[in-house]
Structure 1
Amino acid sequence: MTMTSFQNASAWIDAENAQDPNLETDQSISYPKELLYSNRMYAKLMDFHPNASEAVQIASKAQHICRWKIARESYPMDRVGYLKWREDLKKFHAKTTAAILEKAGYDEAFIARVSFLVEKKLLKKDEETQLLEDVICLVFLEFYFDPFVHKHDREKMKTIIEKTWNKMSDKGHQEALKISFSPENFQLIKEALGL
């Protein structure tokens, strides 16, 4: 597809995410939360794997598109409720993105591929799904890990670190260890992973 389709799709994804009523501050500037997340995802992808396909680039930007529209609180606050919420979110993100891509003029095969990636299908088996998961984990570790540490106890955090690590590729692991964690957080990661 032409760059115009990509530029249109990107702009429309940004416009959707810019409507997020939840704000997050980054370097003293407030952003709609999911717009900031989308920008971080795309920047991390291009840094980690600059020749990523157009499908992965769009999937990275659309990973959490309009996430605030399906509240966690609207599901039972247990493990089953959490998993159902996550599954419904994936389908919702894929459907929302597909509508944008159709409007941008992409063909059915491309739209299906982006939906496949947004839904994170065949993790560990599909190279691009794995690439996207690596980027998701790297963004979490760089930008969202520290706030998590302050919300959960040490043992719970070790479990979260292990689960995150297990989803990543070897290349993802190498990149994660380059992140400048605080000494306390890096110690926690080393304990969790037995490094």
Structure 2
Amino acid sequence: MVIKLKLKYLILLAFLGLPFLFSSTANAEVYIGLATTQIQIKTNTGSTRPLMADARFGYRLNAHKFELAVMSSVKDDNLNQLVIDVPIATSLLYRYTTNPRSPIRVDFILGYSQVDIKSSYIDIPESTETFRGVSFGIGFEQSLDSIRQLKFKIDLMQMYRGDQLDINAITLGFRYEF
């Protein structure tokens, strides 16, 4: 447990220190992103779609992006009186842009995600489970001609895949490069 916690902090520290390593590179930029995310939690018996607010902090170096995504609950969803909410979800992502000079860019996304799912049912106490795993997906973004640093984006991701549970996300928002 202690080793896992130390490893998480080491990875986070390395991720946050990345901009300082490449700060003299001409094509390197720090960025933030804001979006809404709809999480789809699919089981054998049905699916729910809680809504989340999504904040992303990243670093772009040519065609490579390193990104930390933090999502927080906006609205829960229910299935047959079972209320499902995602209080928090976090992801550490690597994004590779296939066409970095094009106004419409395509990103291949690979990373690691942690999703907390809170469930409650009539006369049963609330419970929270944490799901961790490899996440992957594809993203599209388009920059504005008038403000080149502002990009509108959409991401389609699988955040977790299990035997009886899949967690997918669709994100719509914008990103601003400094």
Q: TM-score range by the shorter chain?
A: under 0.3
Q: Which has the higher helix share?
A: 1
TM-score (norm 2): 0.27
TM-score (norm 1): 0.25
